[in-house]
Amino acid sequence: MIKPHGADVLAPRYVANETERNALLSEAEFLPSILLNSAAAANAVMLGAGYFTPLSGYMNVADAMKVATDMHTTDGLFWPVPVLNLTDSVEGIGVNRRIALRDPNVAGNPVMAVIEVAAIEEVSDEQMDTMTEAIFGTLDEAHPGVATFRSLGRYAVSGDIQVLSFSYFATEFGDTFKTAVEIRDQIGERGWKTVVAFQTRNPMHLAHEELCRMAQERLNADGIVIHMLLGRLKAGDIPASVRDACIRKMVDVYFPENTVMVNGYGFDMLYAGPREALLHAVFRQNMGASHLIVGRDHAGVGDFYGPFDAQGIFDELPEGALAIQIFAADHTAWSKKLGRVVMMREVEDHTPEDYVFLSGTRVREMLSEGIAPPPEFSRPEVAEILMEHYQLEARQPAVGE
Active-site residue list = 201-202
What gap in Å lies between CA 287 and CA 351, rounded to an integer?
40
| 43-46, long-range: CB < 8 A, 24+ apart | 43/83, 43/84, 43/85, 44/13, 44/101, 44/112, 44/113, 44/161, 44/163, 45/163, 45/166, 45/167, 45/169, 45/266, 45/267, 46/83, 46/265, 46/266, 46/267, 46/283
Phi and psi (nearest 5°) for 389?
Answer: -65, -50
Number of other CB atoms surrounding residue 302 within 10 Å: 11
What gap in Å lies between CA 275 and CA 271, rounded to an integer?
9
Number of other CB atoms surrounding residue 78 within 10 Å: 18
What percent helix, strand, coil does the chain show, rounded to 5?
35, 20, 45
Closest CA to 21 of 163, 159, 181: 163
What gap in Å lies between CA 278 and CA 357, rounded to an integer?
29
Name beta bridge partners: 158: 119
Residues 120, 93 contacting (CB under 8 angstroms): yes
The H or E element spanning position 17 is none
What gap in Å lies between CA 34 and CA 57, rounded to an integer?
16
Closest CA to 225 of 181, 279, 278, 291: 291
